């Protein structure tokens, strides 16, 4: 890999005697890894566990595998996984992932929340927000709203609201050069300073949304001090914050001048580049009231949903039922009025109201576990190949007609109807593929 002269000079000065070992890593292959999803009912063991971290493994699994399609695994390189590990939100927290696409950090945060509290997962790019929604849906979480907004507009709705805000900030991307060599094309000596200005603007909005005693996790995938420790200095000068020390594991090292922060270099750490700092908000609490959302279903819609639940579910789903057009969603409790925001996913998509009937969604079938559904049908791996390609699948003829949660390796793969020994295909057309 050919590195730019300014980059070589910068990190020769910064790393001194360690510089040769650092530059040598750019001739090596990037490290791949993945996490397992603790929200899924049937877990699997994999080789090459990443030490000191929950759910994390080195290696690679095909995006066409049952494990990936059912949401049991999420591919994410090791340094990026440390952001969620350091955040480690507690159950029932209200959490914001401010720059969330494609969804690695959001799904990691959801693993800790365990379908409690709330995650608002935001992405300003409409195109990337669609990818984020797809990954969140596959993960099977129920307590997520995906927004497609600027930090400034979010701050107008979520004033001092979140117990934790995670900002993996847009940055110069130096830590991704090995994984994505194209990131070098737009790097120049002035680029980190330009990125730092944008990071400050986003953080100014983030601080308006952070509740007193709330935690801010700030990270970048770059080694540039302008975007890392200098941002830490700026935050400590501008706001009433304190740094929370980060335990160093797996080759992480102290930040420059701030031992509470963490840097990941590929010559120390088995992964790519990352910087993380963790803060606590020391601001004085104020009393705020959140207007609870109300259901907007009409009488017929309520009856259709209740009929579906009676026939097909063994659980009462907690949240606020909201219909948007003909689409039914379950929103987490305690949300402010979101009507002024662009929403990419309004909670858990439950399904669609059609003429005199309700059809359950793919997302609902991914989210539920066996004790929560009345009817389940397990398909084989051979049937899985046919089903994800859009074909019907034969099932035992003695199975009664009706809605079934489909499972592969005992994890949900959506809902579909059984009619006379045939499992109709309900796998979303936009997700279909051939192995």
Residue 123 annotated as part of some ligand binding site: yes
Give the pLDDT confidence of 80-116 residue by residue, as tens digits. Answer: 999 999 999 999 999 999 999 999 999 999 999 999 9
Q: Which of 317, 334, 359 is the last residue of a domain?
A: 359
Q: How confident is the model at residue 183 (pLDDT cuts 50, 70, 90)?
A: confident
Residues 120 and 190 in one domain: yes
Task: Say what the pLDDT of residue 379 is.
Answer: 98
Residue 63 burial (C-beta neighbours within 10 Å; 0-12, 13-18, 19+): exposed
Q: What is the pLDDT of residues 277-336, one digit of tens each?
A: 999 999 876 655 556 678 899 999 999 999 999 999 999 999 999 999 999 999 999 999
What tens digit of pLDDT does each residue of 131-160 get?
Answer: 999 999 999 999 999 999 999 999 999 999
Return the minimum-mean-pLDDT range out of 152-156, 180-184, 387-391, 410-414: 180-184
CA 359 and chain centroid, separation: 27
**405: CATH:** 2.30.130.60
Residue 207: what pLDDT?
98
Cα distances (Å, whole numbers) of residue 184 to 24, 80, 401: 16, 19, 57
Residue 163 assigned ligand-binding role:
no
pLDDT at 198 over 60: yes
Lowest mean pLDDT among 52-61, 176-185, 380-389: 176-185
Structural domain includes residue 350: yes
Residues 250 and 125 in one domain: yes
Residue 151 and residue 208 share a domain = yes
Give the residue-averaged pLDDT of 46-58. Answer: 97
| Whether residue 332 sits in one domain with residue 189 | no
Same domain, 116 and 233: yes
Let me know whether 257 and 217 are in one domain: yes
Residue 103 assigned as binding residue: yes
| 236 shares its domain with 98 | yes
367 in a domain, yes or no? no
The CATH number of the domain holding residue 173 is 3.40.50.150
The pLDDT of 192-208, averaged and rounded, is 98
Task: Give the whole-number percent of the chain exceeding pLDDT 90.
Answer: 94
Q: pLDDT, tens digit, for every residue of 152-175?
A: 999 999 999 999 999 999 999 999
Distances from the Cα of 329 to the Cα of 144, 192, 281, 291, 405, angstroms? 11, 41, 33, 18, 18
Mean pLDDT to the nearest integer, 10-15: 97
User: What pLDDT does residue 104 have?
Assistant: 98
Q: What is the arithmetic mean of pLDDT over 403-413?
A: 98
Is residue 251 located within the same domain as residue 183? Answer: yes
151 and 255 share a domain? yes
Total number of domains in the chain: 3
Structural domain harbouring 346: 290-359
The catalytic residue positions are: 221
**CA–CA separation, 203 vs 96, rounded Å?**
13
Question: What tens digit of pLDDT does each residue of 215-231 get?
Answer: 999 999 999 999 999 99
Q: Is 206 annotated as a binding residue?
A: no
| C-alpha 209 chain-centroid distance | 19
Does the annotation flag 259 for ligand binding? no
pLDDT digits (tens, 9 = 90+) for 340-396: 999 999 999 999 999 999 999 999 999 999 999 999 999 999 999 999 999 999 999
260-263 contacts, C-beta under 8 A, 24 or more apart: 261/228, 261/229, 261/232, 262/82, 262/86, 263/223, 263/228
Last residue of a domain, one of 281, 301, 335: 281
102 labelled binding-site residue: yes
Ligand-binding annotation for 20, yes or no, is no
Q: Residue 165: its pLDDT value, please? A: 98
Mean predicted lDDT score pLDDT of the chain: 96
Among 281, 314, 332, residue at a domain's last position = 281
Same domain, 134 and 219: yes
Do both 272 and 164 map to the same domain? Answer: yes
Residue 163 falls inside a structural domain: yes
105 is in an annotated binding site: yes
pLDDT for res 286: 65
CA-based max dimension of the chain: 73
Question: What's the pLDDT tens digit per position in 251-270?
Answer: 999 999 999 999 999 999 99
In a domain, 265, yes or no: yes
Averaged pLDDT for residues 395-415: 97
């Amino acid at each position: 890999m050919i590195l730019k002269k300014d980059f070589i000079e910068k990190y020769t000065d910064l790393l001194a005697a360690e510089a040769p070992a650092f530059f040598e890593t750019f001739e090596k292959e990037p490290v791949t890894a993945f996490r397992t999803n603790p929200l899924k009912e049937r877990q699997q063991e994999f080789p090459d566990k990443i030490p000191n971290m929950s759910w994390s493994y080195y290696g690679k699994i095909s995006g066409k595998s049952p494990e990936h399609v059912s949401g049991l695994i999420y591919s994410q390189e090791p340094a990026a996984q440390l952001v969620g590990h350091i955040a480690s939100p507690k159950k029932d927290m209200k959490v914001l992932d401010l720059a969330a696409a494609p969804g690695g950090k959001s799904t990691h945060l959801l693993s800790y929340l365990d379908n409690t509290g709330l995650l608002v997962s935001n992405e300003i790019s409409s195109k990337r927000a669609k990818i984020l929604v797809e990954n969140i849906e596959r993960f099977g979480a129920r307590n997520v709203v995906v927004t497609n907004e600027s930090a400034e507009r979010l701050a107008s709705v979520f004033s001092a609201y979140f117990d934790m805000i995670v900002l993996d900030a847009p940055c110069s991307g130096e830590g991704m050069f090995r994984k994505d060599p194209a990131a070098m094309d737009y790097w120049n000596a002035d680029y980190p300073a330009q990125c730092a200005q944008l990071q400050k603007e986003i953080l100014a909005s983030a601080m308006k949304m952070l509740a007193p005693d709330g935690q801010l996790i700030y990270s970048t995938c770059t080694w540039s001090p302008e975007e890392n420790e200098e941002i830490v200095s700026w935050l400590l000068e501008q706001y009433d914050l304190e740094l929370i020390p980060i335990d160093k594991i797996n080759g992480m090292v102290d930040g420059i001048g701030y031992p509470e922060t963490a840097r990941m270099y590929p010559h120390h750490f088995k992964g790519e580049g990352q910087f993380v700092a963790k803060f606590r908000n020391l601001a004085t609490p104020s009393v705020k009231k959140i207007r609870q959302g109300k259901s907007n279903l009409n009488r017929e819609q309520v009856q259709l949903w209740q009929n579906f639940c009676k026939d097909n579910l063994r659980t009462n789903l907690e949240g606020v039922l909201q219909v948007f057009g003909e689409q039914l969603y379950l929103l987490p409790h305690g949300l402010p009025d979101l009507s002024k925001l662009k929403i990419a996913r309004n909670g858990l998509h439950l399904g669609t109201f059609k003429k005199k009937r309700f059809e359950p969604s793919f997302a609902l079938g991914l989210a539920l576990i066996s004790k929560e559904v009345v009817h389940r049908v397990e398909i084989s791996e051979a049937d899985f190949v046919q089903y994800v390609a859009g074909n019907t699948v034969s099932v035992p003829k003695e199975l009664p007609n009706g809605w079934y949660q489909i499972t592969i390796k005992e994890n949900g793969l959506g809902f579909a109807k059984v009619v006379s020994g045939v499992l109709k295909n309900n796998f979303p057309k936009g997700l279909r593929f051939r192995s």
